[in-house]
Structure 1
Amino acid sequence: MKVLSAEDVRQAVPMPAAVDAVRNAFRELAAGNFVLPPRQIFGNGAVLVMSAYHSPSGTAVVKKIGIALDRVPAIRATVIWTGDGEQLVADGTSITTLRTGAVVGVATGLLAPAGATRLTVIGTGAQAPDQVRAVLAVRPIAEVTVTGRSAGRAAALAGDLAEEFPEVKFTPSTDIDASIADTHVLCCATSSSTPLFTADALPENVHVNAIGAFRPTMRELPRELLGSATTVLVDQREAALEESGEIIDAVESGVLAESDLVELGPALADPPLATGRTVFKSVGIGPQDWAIAAALAEH
């Protein structure tokens, strides 16, 4: 049995490889090659158990997640992968941030302007760095604004990322409206229960990723953005309608129909409109964890 630490995960699967692996997993999902049991939720979302079985390879992944938003890191997880007589146990916290970044890379590659050079990330927690790494892996980003409630945390994260990507200009900010006013790509990675901005604060042409709100009571995006977006992309329609506060609110209020939601897997074969304001909302599904675990098993 392989036991892999967070450092092992990072060394084995860099972000560009993670984006490729997750993209392929969504193609497999669209082809009907995964069995996905319903996610189990305990303690009002404090504990989650996710699993996925890949029929062609006979491999499976199970992830147990503990979530406490008042703790750093807020998410702690363990991933178990099995296949062909082999078992792998890996740090699930690093896999979660990596695969969440990777799916944003897939969606950004599909919907963001090809020449996008400006990125804004809202949030300075554990998910934020991989959001930046993923977008930089698929677009020629030259400027990144790191926006958070704490000036100190925003500055610290901007400094760390500047060391990792010296060719990119990183600017810390606490002013959301100013930081998103002329951005090409926006990543939201917070635990907010209310929208972070108004739709009017966004440029007319922008791609927005939102990964922070994972409960029906949480919302990062304004209803008006979802109602007016050219394309609203989700990782899986069923999961979004059960867990995404933004999607649930938009559908219940009537500004968005369930049929308006475009699933990522089919969109890779039949790309949706990528003009104006586009949105990708992810709550995370098992094939993403399987993709990273399978890559680790092959390493």
Structure 2
Amino acid sequence: MNFITQHDIDSVYTMKECIADLKEGFRLYSQNKTYAPVRTVLDHSHSGANTLFMPSYIEDMEYETVKVVSIFPNNPAAGISTLQGVILLTETVHGQHLATIEASGLTVMRTGAGAGVATEYLAKKDARQLSILGCGAQSRGQLQAVLSIRPIDRIFLWNRTEEKALAFKEEIEQSGWKGDVIVSDTANDAASKADVLSLSSKSQEALFDANVLKPGVHINAIGSYRPDLKEFGVDTLERLDQLWVDTLEGVQHEAGELIQAADHGKWTWDQVNGELAELVTGQKSGRRNHDEITLYKSVGVAYMDTIAAAKVYEKMVQN
């Protein structure tokens, strides 16, 4: 059995490839050829940490995976990454375990790629300003994906701990990207500038006031993945023209913003326009005009891991 490291992944797999592969995954999902039960979450109440267990099987590809990912928010103080993960890839003809894959970076990439697909169908074609609220690990994937899809020339960053945003700004500038990178003093300031707004925090309160949003903004909300978390408020839901999700089943179990709003009678589930797969397959249409405010809510689904892991493995074998 192979062990595939993050270095291996970086050497053979790009964000653009991952976006294309996830589109294939969405098509297979729409054909009922993916199987991914809602994940099991173990909470570690003493530290606010979680460990997630995510199995999935893709019928046509004859692969299955189990991902175990831990999210320990206090790790940076010990010099350890917040996100730790591993994927076991198995072929389903004979049940052979093919590879153990380092999953932290691949999780960031496939989450970003999902937002990239949403951005392709829902963001304005001329979107040039990207704002990111929350500058942790997942923000890297959000940045890479949106830059792959739209002609962004200015980035605004905000983080509750400003040092984190400043470090991310330096990282972006050192990567060779040629546009402007600005650290905003407030989340509202960053949100008010956005043509594409990426939310990648573990907040329990809405990060911004909806009245600052520009007409035509598209929002990728990927940070909240538990019922007690919330990155946007009911005021944002009231301003939306379209709301799309990765899977309805997943968000009904885990999307705190939507669950809390529904439980308090402020919003109803029939206001979801559909799942992202319906845009990819052309069953439904996305953005209708320049001024619509759109939002993609993702809590993650395991078949995204399976298709990304399988594609990485195949590329490693070919090389």
TM, length-normalised to structure 1: 0.95
Aligned to 2:7: 7
Query: Are 2:56 and 2:65, in contact at CA under 8 Å, matched by a contact in 1?
Result: yes
Per mean C-alpha deviation after superposition, the further-off stretch among 23-32 and 188-197 is: 23-32
RMSD: 1.5
CA distance 1:203–1:59, change in 2 (3 Å) = same
- Show the 5 A alignment for 1:134-283: 134-261=145-272, 262-268=274-280, 269=282, 270-275=284-289, 276-283=292-299
**Which runs of at least 4 in structure 1 moved beyond 6 Å after TM superposition?**
none
CA distance 1:165–1:210, change in 2 (3 Å) = farther
Query: Are 2:35 and 2:303, in contact at CA under 8 Å, matched by a contact in 1?
Result: no
Q: 3-state SS of the aligned residue for 2:11?
A: helix
Q: 3-state SS of the aligned residue for 1:60?
A: strand
Aligned to 1:50: 54
Alpha-carbon distance in structure 2 between the residues aligned to 1:54 and 1:153: 38
Per mean C-alpha deviation after superposition, the further-off stretch among 286-295 and 133-142 is: 286-295
Per mean C-alpha deviation after superposition, the further-off stretch among 234-243 and 80-89 is: 80-89
Query: Are 1:150 and 1:174, in contact at CA under 8 Å, matched by a contact in 2?
Result: no
Alpha-carbon distance in structure 1 between the residues aligned to 2:135 and 2:38: 30
CA distance 1:81–1:167, change in 2 (3 Å) = same
CA distance 1:160–1:31, change in 2 (3 Å) = same
CA shift for structure 1 position 86: 5.7
Query: Are 2:154 and 2:180, in contact at CA under 8 Å, matched by a contact in 1?
Result: yes
CA shift for structure 1 position 272: 2.9
Query: Are 1:13 and 1:292, in contact at CA under 8 Å, matched by a contact in 2?
Result: no
Per mean C-alpha deviation after superposition, the further-off stretch among 43-52 and 288-297 is: 43-52
Aligned to 1:59: 63
Per mean C-alpha deviation after superposition, the further-off stretch among 84-93 and 136-145 is: 84-93
Query: Are 1:234 and 1:281, in contact at CA under 8 Å, matched by a contact in 2?
Result: yes
Q: 3-state SS of the aligned residue for 1:127?
A: helix
TM, length-normalised to structure 2: 0.89
Alpha-carbon distance in structure 2 between the residues aligned to 1:256 and 1:273: 21
**Structure 2 residue runs without a partner (length 5+):** none
Identity, in percent, stands at 26
Query: Are 1:113 and 1:274, in contact at CA under 8 Å, matched by a contact in 2?
Result: no
Alpha-carbon distance in structure 2 between the residues aligned to 1:174 and 1:51: 41
CA shift for structure 1 position 164: 1.7
